[in-house]
Amino acid sequence: MTNAAMAMTQEALAEPLLKVKNLRKLYAPGKGVDGVDFELWPGEVLGIVGESGSGKTTLLQCLSGMLTPDSGQIEYTGKQGDKLDIYKITESQRRLLLRTDWGIVHQHPRDGLRMGVSAGANIGERLMAIGERHYGNLRSTGEAWLREMEIDTARIDDLPRTFSGGMQQRLQIARNLVTQPRLVFMDEPTGGLDVSVQARLLDMLRNLVVDLGLSVVLVTHDLAVARLLSHRLMVMRGGKVVEQGLTDQILDDPQHPYSQLLVSSVLTP
Partner 1 sequence: MTNAALYHNPDSQNDGQNDSQSNSTGYNFAYLDEQTKRMIRRCLLKAVAVPGYQVPFGGREMPLPYGWGTGGMQVTATIIGQDDVLKVIDQGADDTTNAVSIRRFFARTAGVATTESTREASVIQTRHRIPETPLSHGQILVYQVPIPDPLRFIEPRETETRKMHALQEYGVMHVKLYEDIARFGHIATTYAYPVKVNGHYVMDPSPIPKFDNPKMHGNPALQLFGAGREKRIYAIPPFTRVESLDFEDHPFEIQGWDQTCEFCGSDHSFLDEVVTDDEGGRIFICSDTDYCNQRFANGARQEAV
Partner 2 sequence: MYVAVKGGEKAIDQAHSWLDETRRGDTSLPELSVAQIRQQMGLAVDRVMAEGSLYDPELAALALKQASGDAIEAIFLLRAYRTTLPRFLASVPMETNTMAIQRRISAAYKDLPGGQVLGPTYDYTHRLLDFTLLANGERGSAPPSGDETVEDCPRVLDFLNSEGLIESPLANSGRTQSDGSAESETPADLTRQPLDYPAGRDLRLQALARGDEGFLLALAYSTQRGYGRNHPFAGEIRQGEVAVEIAPEELGFPVIVGDIQVSECDMINQFIGTETEAPRFTRGYGLAFGNSERKALAMALVDRALRARELGEDVVSPAQDEEFVLAHCDNLDSSGFVSHLKLPHYVDFQSELVLLRRLRKEFEERKSGRQGPKVNTTSKPGNQDEPSTDNEQRREVKQA
Give the binding site for partner 1 (CB under 8 A).
91-92, 95-96, 99, 114, 117-118, 120-121, 124-126, 128-130, 133-136, 138-139, 156-157
Question: E strands within the chain?
Answer: 18-28, 31-40, 45-49, 71-77, 83-85, 102-105, 183-187, 215-220, 232-237, 240-246
CB of 171 to partner 2, least distance (A): 14
Among 9, 162, 180, 260, binds partner 2 (CB under 8 A): 162
Residue 151 or 174: which CB sits closer to partner 2? 151
CB of 152 to partner 2, least distance (A): 7
Contact 27, 53 (CB under 8 A): no
Choose the one of partner 2, partner 1, none that binds residue 155, judging by a C-beta under 5 to 8 angstroms depending on kind. partner 2
Choose the one of partner 2, partner 1, none that binds residue 158, judging by a C-beta under 5 to 8 angstroms depending on kind. partner 2
Instruction: Provide φ and ψ at 233, rounded to 5°.
Output: -130, 145
Residue 49 DSSP class = E
CB atoms within 10 A of CB 140: 13
CB of 89 to partner 1, least distance (A): 13
Choose the one of partner 1, partner 2, none that binds residue 159, judging by a C-beta under 5 to 8 angstroms depending on kind. partner 2
Q: Which stretch binds partner 2 (CB under 8 A): 34-42, 92-100, 158-166, 245-253?
A: 158-166
Residue 145 or 258: which CB sits closer to partner 2? 145
Among 11, 111, 157, 248, binds partner 2 (CB under 8 A): 157
Distances in whole angstroms, Cα of residue 74 to Cα of each of 12, 47, 161, 184: 18, 17, 36, 15
The DSSP H or E segment spanning 6 is helix 2-12
Report if residue 28 touches partner 2, rule: CB under 8 A: yes
**How many residues comprise the chain?**
269
- Nearest partner of 123 among 165, 186, 179, judged by Cα: 179
CB of 77 to partner 2, least distance (A): 34
Distances in whole angstroms, Cα of residue 211 to Cα of each of 6, 72, 124, 165: 9, 33, 21, 24
Site for partner 2, rule CB under 8 A: 28, 118, 135-136, 139, 152, 154-155, 157-159, 162
